[in-house]
Amino acid sequence: MRFKFLICILLIVNLLNAQDEARYPVYPNPVKFPIYLSATFGELRNNAFHAGVDIKTGGEIGKKVYAVADGYVSRIGVSPFGYGNAVYVTHNDGFTSVYAHLESFNNKITKYIRNKQFENKSFAQNVFLEKDEIPVKVGDFLGLSGDTGGSGGPHLHYELRDANQRPVNPYFFGFKIKDEVKPGINGIALYPKENSSVNGKDEAAYFELVNDKGGYSVKDGEIKVNGTVFFGISTYDQANNSNNKNGVHSIELFADNRLIFSILFDKYSYDETRYINSLIDYKKFVNDKIRYVRTEIDEYNILDLYGKKSGCVTLKEGQKAEMKFVVKDYFGNISTVRFNLVGDKPLTEYSDNQYGRSYYRVDGKKEVEVNLDGFTAIIPEKAFYRFEYVLARQLDTIGNIASDYAYLVGSEEIPVQKNINIRLRPAEKYASSDKLYVVSITKDGKFVSQGGKMADGMVCTKVRSFGTFALAEDYLAPKVTPINFKNNTKVVNCKRLKINIKDAESGIEKYDIYINGKWVIGAYDAKNDLLFYDVDENLKIGNNKMEIVVRDCVGNETRRTYNIIRERPKK
């Protein structure tokens, strides 16, 4: 019977997938080599869902990338961060394909974006094109794969979007890999609600699992609960010939064979992506770097990925419930974890949460203003995903700062959806300084720049996470260090001049390179603190004055000038 039931499930999964695919066109692959993935669609990332698939390129850059459908280049992105060098192709059928972290573009796109860079005197670009500017045919060469932007290593990020620019699972478009591997399950969690308990405690409980051929089970056997509990699961997927732990396609939770929760990672809106912090057990992630998908849906969570939403079970003493998580990948591989709940006697004592005058009550229904001596924070409505108490107090034991106090606001365990405006007053001796910026202070005392501008005697900025804040003064100019050249360097066959640029305080805001007084493209690789100039026609035969200008976020500037001698290539 169990075998027949499993066959029925597989048939239903395949039927649903076939129905999904019928709505979408089938595209060829964007590369012409065997495909292995380092990331899948909907994968859980920091503050976002992964919007496409990451195609491995063998640890190398320079693999050819091709358009998957007829259309036109509708957008070109060049950035030291995020997608790096990216091409967006809007198809005649209304969908858009995205190819990101490219090392370089084809000649036509390169010429177009170079003209924009010289026109704006800026390396970073985000250009939207008209339909007739750069037409594209299926199979056209678009560029070479790379490692630009925020990439963690050479690969191609490939993404497909619908007409509303919502990312859609590329598997719907005929994109396939070989996957005969069942998803893995790391553990499950139970979260008691108010006046409820799990195994005699009114706090979150995490359970190790035992994996046998029939599926997963809880290592400790039955779980005792009283009252209402929600659930969590930590899971991942893998494919043939790959060790990467990727995202799953769906998660379902059953109570006594009744579906009480489901989520399907098939498409979403960019407006929703940060709500991943409401989906997961954010406190567990902050403390242990492990993501548990929660079945409780917070009051202000607008994610559209959910199916069934109840997600909880309520038991009294003596009652029982048979629970089952079902995790699936796109290709029909299924893993389950079964566990039994037994109704426990009620607790006689519960944790006593005392919130004194140092706490602000934030229910999300209105803006809340936090005021301390020399500090203000404006928390907008629905800045959090649910009701929170926010601690706010001043600290006077932190040293080398430019404000009278450091200010502890909230907890890093509280996820923040909307920007919070904060303002800090400088200490009297720094009141006239124009080099002030806001820092958050880590547990080990490290300063992390949060930017900031002076307005009405206060330094103002926006933050999207809580912690300890203060003012710092940055009077140090950025460091500029040539890597593969020096003054009077002779250039014959050198194609790229490299410079290390770094600012450990307020951070780098602007970077420029001039050759003989003319602005040239200085490409910035932020993750490697690298600025480079690809030798072009602006570097003439003979002596050339190369000037490098780097400015930080409070206006400190470093200028370095070098004589570069370009010689004719020897025949």
Q: Are residues 371 and 443 in the same domain?
A: yes
If you write DSSP's letter for every residue of 502-518 in order, what string do you get? E-SSS-EEEEEEEETTE
CATH number for the domain harbouring residue 518: 2.60.40.1220
Closest CA to 250 of 334, 159, 166: 334
Q: What is the pLDDT along the chain (571 residues), one digit of tens a residue?
A: 444 444 444 444 444 444 455 589 999 999 999 999 999 999 999 999 999 999 999 999 999 999 999 999 999 999 999 999 999 999 999 999 999 999 999 999 999 999 999 999 999 999 999 999 999 999 999 999 999 999 999 999 999 999 999 999 999 999 989 999 999 999 999 999 999 999 999 999 999 999 987 799 998 889 999 999 999 999 999 999 889 999 999 999 999 999 999 999 999 999 999 999 999 999 999 999 999 999 999 999 999 999 999 999 999 999 999 999 999 999 999 999 999 999 999 998 877 777 878 999 999 999 999 999 999 999 999 999 999 999 999 998 777 899 999 999 999 999 999 999 999 999 999 999 999 999 999 989 999 999 999 999 999 999 999 999 999 999 999 999 999 999 999 988 889 999 999 999 999 999 999 999 999 999 999 999 999 999 999 999 999 999 999 999 999 999 999 999 999 887 6
**Please, what's the b/e burial string for 104-137 (b: 16 or more CB within 10 A of its CB; e: otherwise)?**
bbbebbeebbeeebeeeebbebebebeeeebebe
Percentages (nearest 5) of helix, strand, coil residues in the chain: 10, 45, 45
- Phi-psi label, residue 210: left if phi above 0, alpha if psi -120 to 50, beta otherwise: beta
Q: How far is CA 226 from the centre of its chain?
A: 37
Sheet strands (E) in 425-466? 436-441, 447-451, 453-455, 458-463
Whole-angstrom Cα distance, residue 488 to residue 242? 49
What confidence score (pLDDT) does residue 481 get?
Answer: 98
Last residue of a domain, one of 473, 501, 518: 473
Q: Are residues 212 and 148 in the same domain?
A: no
How many domains are there within the chain? Answer: 4
Last residue of a domain, one of 343, 377, 408: 343
Q: Are residues 377 and 446 in the same domain?
A: yes
If you write DSSP's letter for every residue of 469-488 in order, what string do you get? EEEEE--PPPEEEESS--TT
Structural domain for 139, as ranges: 19-173
Place of tokens 């010689």: 567
| pTM for the full predicted model | 0.92
What confidence score (pLDDT) does residue 568 get?
Answer: 87
Is there a domain that residue 12 lies in? no
Q: Are residues 277 and 378 in the same domain?
A: no
CATH number for the domain harbouring residue 164: 2.70.70.10
Closest CA to 439 of 480, 398, 477: 398
Is there a domain that residue 430 lies in? yes
For residue 127, give the DSSP letter. E
Is there a domain that residue 114 lies in? yes
Closest CA to 177 of 234, 235, 246: 246
Q: Are residues 446 and 405 in the same domain?
A: yes
